[in-house]
Amino acid sequence: MLNHLARFWIRALLVRGPRRSSEGNPIMISPDARVSLDPNGAVFLHARNGIIFTSNRIGARIWNCLRDGESVETIAARISQENGAPHDRVRQDTTEFIEELETQGFLSRRVGY
């Protein structure tokens, strides 16, 4: 479901580092993130790096929930209920999507909160 959620067009060369676990820390939206939402999805632009990232309507829904300060668990529960999908699977896919947004620089986590 969500694992086929996003397509990437990268205009800047990225070097990916290992993902670190930061599950318990608050998610922060990068000041360099620019997002255009419509009923079919979202287009993300990282203004500093020139990275463009697109997602379908579920990715746009996740972004709106993050912007509203909702937790991963709350987002997964909401999407699971709205789409009749298994909660565990939605939570896993939501976590992976958020990790990808972090990797691309659209999100970060405040450590120590």
What mean pLDDT, rounded, does the chain reach?
Answer: 81
Tokens of 39: 């009923």
Rounded Cα distance between 71 and 2, Å, is 17
Q: Would you state the structure tokens that stand for residue 9, as one six-digit string?
A: 């067009």
Check residue 26 and give its pLDDT. Answer: 83
The whole-number average pLDDT for the span 105-112 is: 79
Strand ranges, E, within the chain: 6-9, 27-29, 33-38, 41-46, 51-56, 107-109
Domains in the chain (CATH in brackets) are 2-10+27-109 (3.90.930)
Closest CA to 55 of 41, 37, 45: 41
Tallying the residues shown for the chain, one arrives at 113
Chain position carrying tokens 């463009």: 52
pLDDT in tens, 24-67: 668 899 999 999 999 999 999 999 999 999 999 999 999 999 99
